[in-house]
Chains A and B, each alone.
Chain A
Amino acid sequence: MTGAGRYTADFDLPGQLYGVFLRADRAHAMMRSVDASAARKHPGVVSVVTGADVANAGFKFPGTMVSYPGRGGQQIKVPPRPTLARDRVRFVGEEIALIVANSKLAAQDAAELIVVDYEDLPAVAHPEDAVKPGAVQLYPDIADNICFDYEYGNEAATQEAFAKAHHVTRLKVESQRICGNPMEPRAALVAYDAAADRYDVYTSNQGPTMLKPGLAFVSGVAPEKIRIVPLDVGGGFGLRSGSFPEHVVLMYAAKALGKPIKWVGSRFENFVTDPHGRAIVIEGELAMDRDGRFIAIRTNWLADQGAYLTAPGPLINTANGMLTLSGVYNIPVGYGRHRLMLTNTTPTGPYRGAGRPDMAYICERLVDQAALDMKMDRTEIRRRNFIPKAAFPFKNAAGAVYDSGDIDALINHALKASNWAGFEARRKHSAAEGKYRGIGCATFIEPAGGGAAPKDQVAVRFEEGDKIALMAPITPHGQGHETAFPEIVARVLGVDPERIELRGVDPQHSIPLMGNGVVGSRTAMHYGSALKIAADDIVKKGHELAARKLEAAPEDIEFANGRYTIKGTGRGIGLFDLAREHRPGASHPLNANGEWALSRSFPSGAHVAEVEIDPSTGVIDIIQYTAVDDCGDIVNHTIVEGQLHGSVLQGVGQVLGEIGVYDRSNGQFLTGTFMDYYMPRAGLVRNLQGHELNVRSPTNPLGLKGVGEAGTTGSLPTVVNAIVDALKPLGIQHIDMPCTPARVWEAIQAARKTQLIS
């Protein structure tokens, strides 16, 4: 706010050199040669590192987080990803060489002198193209470009239910490829300290414990020799959680050259090398009886993984479907099949919601369509099928257990707050002005929590000057942990939160702490709970110390508002007064650690959106967005609200305009700048009301459920349902995202022609 923040590109180290990457300018080609001779001779250039140069560096191919079997017991096939492309490139933007020079401009100029002798290959750039017989095969041993065929639920029982259903609603949707675009371009500054045999890595990340394993694995450098430097990070949304080839090459070059190397990506580089999100085609089917009760659900996903796998990409594209198979409905059987496809495109990974928005989208679109098919009210068909409050904890058709919730209460509140009942009058009013007005709702439940590390650990330390430091192996990047975590501890200790400071630490170079990164709406639940436990422990420790200090029996002491007092008297001592009696630092007797084991909670929500469409332009105006969410107990309302705002706008961006486009004939990426890629701007959603109807979660001591991703999960189906409702008079039953003015206008024109003819 005053310019004092320090993001990766803001750091400089003495003697540093500057790195620029040369990247593939086409989607699929053999590289007959990479001639860097002219580049190496360019003034200012210190080194050029190509795939051939690192062939013997001992780099491994990165792995993935999926270790569970798929259909028929198959294991996932992981395409080998060289750190620098050697004889073949497979997506626009793939790394070919690192140019290191004593200025960024010199490195940039030299990069343009590298001559790559490409031999073009046909490319495939969409999962539906990749799965066709005769499609270009990216890898000889990955048949049909399907790297994993995964299923869950009960295929046979589901088939039986569909066979005897009174009605089946079917819908095919595409959750289009999204470029997450955190505002900070990805960057890295890497230095190697030969004396300490240690790499210092400054880079945008979502937690040292998530970044380091991949870095260590691929580079072959032991994790304790890598220090992830805590710094400010300008957004993540799931894109910045893993290690990237650039990190590994920079480590290699920093050691070889004995100088720090700084690389700052351009926005275009980010467009093509940050993992992309979504990119899933889903066929959904919902079977119901004559009363509109859902008896089975079935979904079939084609999920584009890109040319290579990211670590978490396949995980979120499989597990998150399984966890939310039946949405908020009491559906006894279901089946899901996800085929993970390889294409000549940027690898995909988690993007805010990570599979749950996509599942909520198909589920809630199916339900709205079912209501139309069965001539039932959309809210009534939902109510008829909700999981009742008394049925929680509830096991869904794939075996996942939802901890708590009250979906009926959520939708009742949402309908009331949005004045759903008064909508028809508003629709008529818009129609009189020649506009189409629609209202839509969606109800959803989603997993929050989980993780790779079995527990999350924190340390609380008393420091000089009545200060308390909270340490956790995390990298906050906008979630406000720096505010919320001190509040959690302050509430327990009864002290001013301003005296408490959160520090993200690299556990291997500081207090050893285990834990997960900042992803999956999990951080407050887990680290916050660990802090609560540590704070409770401090109060207990203080109790002993206070008893001794006050020369009273421990049972005669009580603690309130930061003070220990002898019951029934005014005699007591404040926590900080007590703390000051001892030397601050590692051995202070009030210091405490805390931990919370891996757990999950299931936040849920009911959202309503109202839109007005101008048929002469196809422009959609969002008149109101009402969100009612169960976030469990909450720590800081302002922060929760901020997360809702941000996530709703990201979802609305996907609904109204965002899409990463590849030319399907040659895999060229067409939306690599903010001129081509739609981004939400101020005023896109003006009337956004968030309400909380919180049911405390039984799965953690703070009673929290996650909140960071509810807005994306809810907004996709909510807004599209509203748009389809608006266009109902024209007979339009579905419109795929992004619902750009051009697409909407064309759909309206086509529908009007059809109506004229009929």
Chain B
Amino acid sequence: MAKVGMKVNGKQVSGDVEDRTLLVDFIRDTLALTGTHIGCDTSQCGACTIHLNGRAVKSCTMLAAQAEGADILTIEGLAQGDKLHPVQQAFTECHALQCGFCTPGMIMASVGLLKDTPKPTDDEIYHGLEGNLCRCTGYINIVKAVKRASQLMAG
């Protein structure tokens, strides 16, 4: 067992977990933040994407213990109260979600992508979202949403 502590969505949290507990399980089960999803068991799907110390990271691919002392942002922390993040805004405008299951991870990955590349080309978007699977939308509107978000964020 290990006691882990970290900042999640601006709040200091801690918990006792088995050593082998994945970060995504700590977020979902211990912290009851179920917006972050588990979609696979081999790190391909990206539904578990969160931000760790400012970088988009697949939370299924690390242990909770490895996140000790980190600054974590999950989908629940992205909006500022009632004000949606531009990426969330763009996803709504562009009908970039259908069943919604891949969406939190897709949004967190997109926010990370736009952080690195504020004005991405289509190819840069395809490449940046290679680690996120969606079965419903065919990605067409997701790509549109990322471009729209880029516009919104340019002001």
User: Is A732 engaged at the interface, CB distance under 8 Å to the other chain?
Assistant: no
Distance (whole angstroms) from the CB of A715 to the closest CB of chain B: 10
User: Is B67 engaged at the interface, CB distance under 8 Å to the other chain?
Assistant: no
CA separation between A683 and B140, bound complex, in Å? 8
CA separation between A268 and B132, bound complex, in Å? 18
CA separation between A7 and B33, bound complex, in Å? 13
A2 and B35 contact, CB distance less than 8 A: yes
From A233, A266, A645, A648, give the contact of B99 (CB < 8 A): A233
CA separation between A341 and B138, bound complex, in Å? 32
From A647, A681, A684, A686, give the contact of B122 (CB < 8 A): A686
User: Is B75 engaged at the interface, CB distance under 8 Å to the other chain?
Assistant: yes
Of the candidate stretches A182-190, A423-431, A446-454, A593-601, the one touching chain B is A182-190
CA separation between A185 and B39, bound complex, in Å? 6
Size of the A side of the interface (Cβ < 8 Å), in residues, is: 52
B47 and A183 contact, CB distance less than 8 A: yes
B133 and A681 contact, CB distance less than 8 A: yes
Of the candidate stretches A363-371, A383-391, A672-680, A737-745, the one touching chain B is A672-680
User: Is B65 engaged at the interface, CB distance under 8 Å to the other chain?
Assistant: no
User: Is A5 engaged at the interface, CB distance under 8 Å to the other chain?
Assistant: yes
User: Is B72 engaged at the interface, CB distance under 8 Å to the other chain?
Assistant: no
The A-contacting residues of B in range 82-119, CB under 8 angstroms, are 84, 88, 91-92, 95, 97-104, 107
User: Is A638 engaged at the interface, CB distance under 8 Å to the other chain?
Assistant: yes
Residue of A with least CB distance to B99? A478
The B-contacting residues of A in range 560-583, CB under 8 angstroms, are none
Interface centre among B18, B134, B138, B139 (most CB of A within 10 A): B138
Residue of A with least CB distance to B34? A10
The A-contacting residues of B in range 69-84, CB under 8 angstroms, are 74-76, 78-79, 84
B18 contacts which chain A residues (CB < 8 A)?
Answer: 105
User: Is A181 engaged at the interface, CB distance under 8 Å to the other chain?
Assistant: yes
Contact with A along B34-59 (1 / 0, CB 8 A): 11111111101101000000000000
User: Is B11 engaged at the interface, CB distance under 8 Å to the other chain?
Assistant: no
Size of the B side of the interface (Cβ < 8 Å), in residues, is: 55
User: Is A486 engaged at the interface, CB distance under 8 Å to the other chain?
Assistant: no
Known contacts A2-B76, A2-B78, A5-B35; A683/B143 CB under 8 A: yes
User: Is B61 engaged at the interface, CB distance under 8 Å to the other chain?
Assistant: no
CA separation between A300 and B97, bound complex, in Å? 39
Contact with B along A629-648 (1 / 0, CB 8 A): 00000000011011001111
B135 and A6 contact, CB distance less than 8 A: no
User: Is A237 engaged at the interface, CB distance under 8 Å to the other chain?
Assistant: yes
User: Is A242 engaged at the interface, CB distance under 8 Å to the other chain?
Assistant: no
From A7, A268, A641, A648, give the contact of B41 (CB < 8 A): A268
User: Is A172 engaged at the interface, CB distance under 8 Å to the other chain?
Assistant: no
Distance (whole angstroms) from the CB of B122 to the closest CB of chain A: 7
A1 and B76 contact, CB distance less than 8 A: no
B74 contacts which chain A residues (CB < 8 A)?
Answer: 3
From A3, A646, A682, give the contact of B135 (CB < 8 A): A646
B101 and A234 contact, CB distance less than 8 A: yes
B138 and A688 contact, CB distance less than 8 A: yes
The B-contacting residues of A in range 158-194, CB under 8 angstroms, are 180-185
Known contacts A2-B79, A674-B40; A183/B45 CB under 8 A: yes
User: Is A479 engaged at the interface, CB distance under 8 Å to the other chain?
Assistant: yes
The B-contacting residues of A in range 178-214, CB under 8 angstroms, are 180-185
B75 and A673 contact, CB distance less than 8 A: no
B133 contacts which chain A residues (CB < 8 A)?
Answer: 183, 674, 679, 681
Distance (whole angstroms) from the CB of A6 to the closest CB of chain B: 7
Contact with B along A485-513 (1 / 0, CB 8 A): 00000000000000000000000000000
User: Is A650 engaged at the interface, CB distance under 8 Å to the other chain?
Assistant: yes
B142 and A682 contact, CB distance less than 8 A: yes
A673 and B39 contact, CB distance less than 8 A: no
B98 and A685 contact, CB distance less than 8 A: no
Interface centre among B34, B45, B91 (most CB of A within 10 A): B34
B136 and A3 contact, CB distance less than 8 A: no
Residue of B with least CB distance to A711? B138
B97 and A1 contact, CB distance less than 8 A: yes
Residue of B with least CB distance to A12? B32
Distance (whole angstroms) from the CB of A511 to the closest CB of chain B: 26
The B-contacting residues of A in range 616-673, CB under 8 angstroms, are 638-639, 641-642, 645-650, 673
From A10, A183, A185, A645, give the contact of B102 (CB < 8 A): A183
Known contacts A105-B20, A650-B135, A681-B129; A2/B75 CB under 8 A: yes
User: Is A339 engaged at the interface, CB distance under 8 Å to the other chain?
Assistant: no
Residue of A with least CB distance to B142? A682
A479 contacts which chain B residues (CB < 8 A)?
Answer: 98
Distance (whole angstroms) from the CB of B112 to the closest CB of chain A: 14
B143 contacts which chain A residues (CB < 8 A)?
Answer: 682-683
CA separation between A185 and B41, bound complex, in Å? 10
The A-contacting residues of B in range 115-155, CB under 8 angstroms, are 122-123, 125-127, 129-130, 132-143
User: Is A480 engaged at the interface, CB distance under 8 Å to the other chain?
Assistant: yes
A646 and B35 contact, CB distance less than 8 A: no
User: Is A477 engaged at the interface, CB distance under 8 Å to the other chain?
Assistant: yes
A649 and B45 contact, CB distance less than 8 A: no
B41 contacts which chain A residues (CB < 8 A)?
Answer: 266-268, 673
Interface centre among A182, A237, A650 (most CB of B within 10 A): A182
B101 and A639 contact, CB distance less than 8 A: no
B141 and A682 contact, CB distance less than 8 A: no
B101 and A235 contact, CB distance less than 8 A: yes
Distance (whole angstroms) from the CB of B15 to the closest CB of chain A: 14
Q: Apart from A3-B74, A184-B99, A646-B136, what are 11 other A-B pairs with CB-CB below 8 Å?
A: A3-B35, A3-B75, A234-B99, A268-B41, A478-B98, A642-B141, A673-B41, A674-B44, A682-B132, A685-B138, A686-B126
Contacts A/B (CB < 8 Å), 20 sampled: A2-B78, A3-B33, A3-B104, A5-B35, A6-B34, A9-B38, A183-B45, A185-B39, A645-B137, A674-B45, A679-B133, A680-B138, A681-B129, A681-B130, A682-B125, A682-B129, A682-B139, A683-B123, A688-B138, A688-B140
Closest 5 CB pairs of A and B: A3-B35, A234-B101, A683-B126, A478-B98, A645-B138
